[in-house]
């Protein structure tokens, strides 16, 4: 039978540190007769009271499900539907942190292997109680020393948000995203974006503008068991966007040590204001994007594939809690169930939220094709769109519409045929644009908000479908580019690594570009072509800021005096460099200038 065991736990008192080690809940399954008929019993000695923000480790143990059973964990929020928090995996434990008071249903599904159809399940209830006493808010530390849990008391209105500011005579308030108010219950916020060892004021703001009396919270020290990168501000001139004071750094890469922090945020002085702890969360990988509302999509787990790929996709909140997770093994089983013949060998380079809440992720996919008279293994890319339960609902691959006879310049390698590195949502038509680095193209595919047939609408770049209007600019087209993304209905920004230009001219630098696209007349007008003052042969990102400036990450500097290094650069529309923050001793995949950790938009504007 199933057996549920919960360990003892002391009552958590507001404003005292949370227990860093999650309580462990254990489920055991033993076969009855010839199969595992699941029943549940609870052991709870002594009686425990669980609070919002207290992580719990659920463990399931099955017998009678083969040598390598796989487990899926789902949570039903109060009044909601079951949502998968971790898809089928051989790991039998999952750490979950309830962030809203109420009674939850937890479900574990077990089956023999990833492709098995027969599933056995058990469901049980778990209650998380409020940290609020009376009508007063409470603030508590979380396991990340730069993050606080703010619990507002039951309040009127439909929504509220939290403001936080350094303790000062004239505080400068920063806003979290808004959350819905549930009548009679506390509303709980993860507050992130604070300096170490610093006192802050935190208050909540109702929908009508009413503010609460602020509480004081002091952050802790950065941990010594992980390695933080070094940031230096090389230039900071007047004219930088005054609203973008946080830089989100994604995919910092220095060797393979599990101790290296590779997803981090800094202020404009290079001070750390947030980070994802790879040791505390037992997850090595890198982020792609900061998502609207304050979550992060990451690729990690085991390195695999041919192009910086990993076997797992994970979404986390700003406290580091896992919100959703899937892996390539269950994804291949689901693709096969859809009738797809290709498999994936890695998630790589891109995972991002779409406006409807689905996730678009890039993956590497191999296929043997006839090439120059013999069977040759090509590795292309697949775009997979996942629904909220991590099921694939739309799939496209580069073997559909692109010729394997076309190998890109400077990297004519079938094993890295397309090297997709970005997905962008087109707001005008609901299609997707995919950046294919080794093809020197960005291609628009007919996604049509999930109703498209996947045909290639156009190819942007050299030998593509657009005529460049660029005046006297030599070599206007980007090559080996990164992060092609829409910023409005008809304009894209791109980081032009410039590998082909560099091959012709050893002094050529990488560029930041803005292109205006006329899809009726098939012209592309080069609006911004900023020389970034250095050459990054790989990685990079692009962004337009609210005041009209542009931000580019020249993240792969390899010249003798800067090896390795990466730079987060802000420039004017005319190309003048206003600000440079450098990470030294490491590369960085992307960086974005943000107002707060909650303010990212779908178009990264």
The CATH number of the domain holding residue 241 is 2.120.10.30
Q: Identify whether 118 is part of a domain.
A: yes
Indicate whether 176 and 234 sit together in one domain. Answer: no
pLDDT of residue 36 exceeding 90, the answer is no
Asked whether residue 243 falls in the same domain as residue 143, the answer is no
Whether residue 605 is predicted with pLDDT greater than 90 in this model: the reply is: no
Write down which residue in 74, 100, 128 finishes a domain.
128
In-domain check, residue 604: no
Tell me: pLDDT of 11 over 50. Answer: no
Residue-wise pLDDT for 431-461, tens only, equals: 999 999 999 999 999 999 999 999 999 999 9
In this structure, are 34 and 56 located in the same domain? yes
Say if 600 falls within a structural domain. no
CATH (domain of 124): 2.60.40.10
Model pLDDT for residues 67-92, shown as the tens digit of each residue: 899 999 999 987 789 999 999 999 98
Supply the mean pLDDT for the chain.
90
> Given this model, what pLDDT does residue 411 score?
76
Half-sphere exposure of 409 (CA within 13 A, CB side): 16
In this prediction, residues 333-349 reach a mean pLDDT of: 97
pLDDT (tens digit, 9 = 90+) per residue, 203-216? 999 999 999 999 99
pLDDT, tens only, 507-557: 999 999 999 999 999 999 999 999 999 999 999 999 999 999 999 999 999
Nearest Cα to 69, choosing from 23, 30, 22, 116?
116
- 421 and 386, same domain (yes or no): yes
For residue 526, being part of any structural domain is answered with yes
Whether 108 and 143 map to the same domain: the answer is no
- Which residues face 381 on adjacent strands? 364
Can you tell me the distance from the alpha carbon of 239 to that of 550, in angstroms, rounded to the nearest whole number?
12
pTM above 0.85, yes or no: yes
pLDDT tens per residue across span 161-195: 999 999 999 999 999 999 999 999 999 999 999 99
Residue 31 has pLDDT above 70, yes or no: no
**pLDDT computed for residue 25 by the predictor:** 53
User: For 555, phi and psi rounded to 5 degrees?
Assistant: -95, -5
Q: Provide the pLDDT for residue 253.
A: 78
224 occurs within a structural domain: no
Same domain, 279 and 210: no
**Is residue 133 situated within a structural domain?**
no
Residue 371, in any domain of the structure: yes
β-pair type (285-291, 295-304): antiparallel
3-state helix, strand, coil in the chain (%, to 5): 5, 50, 50
Cα–Cα separations (whole angstroms), residue 332 to 83, 269, 342:
20, 44, 8
Mean pLDDT of 408-414: 80
pLDDT at 23: 52
The reply to whether 27 and 144 lie within a common domain is: no
Give the domain extent around 104.
Answer: 3-128
Going by pLDDT thresholds of 50, 70 and 90, the confidence category of residue 39 is: very low
Mean pLDDT, residues 20-26 taken together: 50
pLDDT confidence band for 256 (50 / 70 / 90): low
**C-beta neighbour count of 63 within 10 angstroms:** 12
**pLDDT, greater one: 34 or 345:** 345
Confidence grade of residue 27 (pLDDT, cut at 50, 70, 90): very low
Residues 175 and 252 in one domain: no
Same domain, 121 and 188: no
Mention every residue, 6+ apart, whose C-beta is less than 8 A from residue 174: 163, 164, 165, 193, 595, 596
Contact 497, 537 (CB under 8 A): yes
Closest alpha carbon to 348 in 447, 448, 436:
436
Tell which of 191, 218, 245 closes a domain.
Answer: 218
Question: Residue 445: which of 387, 383, 403 has the closest Cα?
Answer: 383
Say what the pLDDT of residue 306 is.
82
Give the count of domains, the chain.
Answer: 3
* Whether residue 111 is found in the same domain as residue 151: no
Give yes or no: residues 202 and 307 share one domain: no
Residue 602 lies in a domain: no
Per-residue pLDDT at 32: 27
Choose the final residue of a domain: 165, 183, 218. 218
Average of per-residue pLDDT across 490-505 = 97
How confident is the model at residue 17, as a pLDDT?
A: 41
Q: What percent of the chain has pLDDT over 70?
A: 91
187 and 258 both lie in a single domain: no
- Res. 112: pLDDT tops 60: yes
Q: Which of 233-237, 251-255, 519-523, 525-529 has the lowest mean pLDDT?
A: 251-255
pLDDT of residue 413: 87
């Amino acid at each position: 039978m199933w057996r549920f065991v919960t360990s003892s736990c002391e009552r958590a008192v507001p404003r005292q540190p949370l227990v860093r080690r999650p309580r462990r809940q254990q489920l055991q399954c033993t076969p009855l007769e010839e199969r595992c008929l699941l029943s549940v019993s609870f052991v709870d000695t002594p009686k425990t009271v669980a609070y919002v923000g207290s992580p719990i480790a659920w463990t399931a143990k099955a017998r009678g499900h083969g040598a390598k059973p796989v487990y899926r964990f789902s949570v039903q929020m109060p009044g909601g539907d079951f949502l998968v928090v971790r898809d089928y995996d051989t790991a039998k434990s999952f750490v979950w942190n309830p962030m809203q008071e109420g009674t939850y249903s937890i479900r574990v599904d077990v089956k023999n292997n990833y492709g098995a159809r027969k599933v056995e399940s058990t469901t049980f209830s778990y209650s998380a109680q409020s940290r609020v006493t009376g009508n007063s808010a409470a603030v508590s530390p979380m396991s990340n020393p730069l993050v606080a849990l703010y619990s507002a008391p039951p309040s009127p209105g439909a929504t509220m948000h939290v403001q936080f500011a350094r303790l000062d005579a004239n505080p400068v308030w920063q806003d979290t995203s808004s959350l819905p108010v549930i009548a009679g219950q506390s509303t709980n916020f993860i507050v992130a974006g604070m300096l170490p060892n610093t006192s802050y004021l935190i208050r909540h703001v109702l929908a009508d503008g009413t503010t609460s009396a602020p509480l004081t919270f002091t952050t802790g020290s950065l941990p010594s068991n992980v390695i933080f990168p070094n940031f230096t501000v090389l230039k900071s001139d007047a004219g930088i966007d005054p609203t973008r004071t946080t830089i989100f750094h994604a995919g910092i890469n220095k060797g393979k040590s599990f101790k290296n922090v590779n997803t981090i945020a800094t202020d404009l002085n290079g001070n750390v204001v947030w980070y994802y702890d790879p040791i505390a969360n037992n997850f090595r990988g890198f982020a792609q994007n900061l998502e609207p509302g304050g979550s992060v999509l990451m690729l990690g787990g085991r390195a695999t594939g041919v192009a910086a790929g990993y076997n797992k996709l994970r979404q986390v909140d700003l406290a580091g809690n896992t919100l959703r997770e899937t892996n390539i093994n269950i994804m291949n089983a689901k693709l096969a169930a859809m009738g797809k013949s290709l498999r994936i060998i890695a998630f790589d380079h891109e995972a991002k939220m779409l406006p409807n809440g689905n996730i678009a992720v890039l993956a590497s996919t191999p296929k043997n094709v006839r090439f120059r008279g013999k069977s040759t293994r090509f590795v292309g890319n697949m775009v997979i769109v996942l629904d909220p339960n991590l099921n694939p609902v739309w799939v496209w691959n580069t073997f559909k519409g692109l010729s394997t006879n076309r190998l890109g310049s400077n990297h004519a390698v079938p094993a890295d045929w397309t090297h997709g590195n970005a997905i962008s949502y087109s707001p005008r038509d609901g299609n997707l644009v995919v950046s294919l680095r080794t093809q020197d193209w960005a291609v628009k595919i007919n996604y049509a908000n999930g109703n498209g047939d996947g045909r290639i609408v156009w190819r942007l770049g050299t030998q593509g479908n657009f005529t460049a209007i660029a005046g006297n600019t030599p070599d206007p087209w980007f090559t080996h580019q990164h992060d092609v993304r829409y910023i409005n209905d008809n304009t894209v920004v791109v980081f032009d690594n410039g590998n082909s230009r560099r091959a012709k001219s050893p002094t050529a630098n990488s560029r930041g570009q803005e292109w205006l696209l006329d899809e009726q007349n098939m012209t592309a007008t080069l609006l911004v072509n900023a020389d970034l003052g250095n050459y990054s042969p790989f990685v990079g990102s692009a962004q337009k800021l609210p005041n009209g400036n542009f931000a580019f990450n020249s993240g792969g500097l390899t010249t003798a005096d800067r090896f390795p290094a990466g730079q987060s650069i802000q420039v004017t529309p005319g190309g003048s460099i206003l600000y440079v923050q450098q990470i030294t001793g490491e590369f960085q995949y992307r960086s974005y200038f943000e107002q707060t950790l909650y303010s990212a938009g779908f178009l990264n504007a």
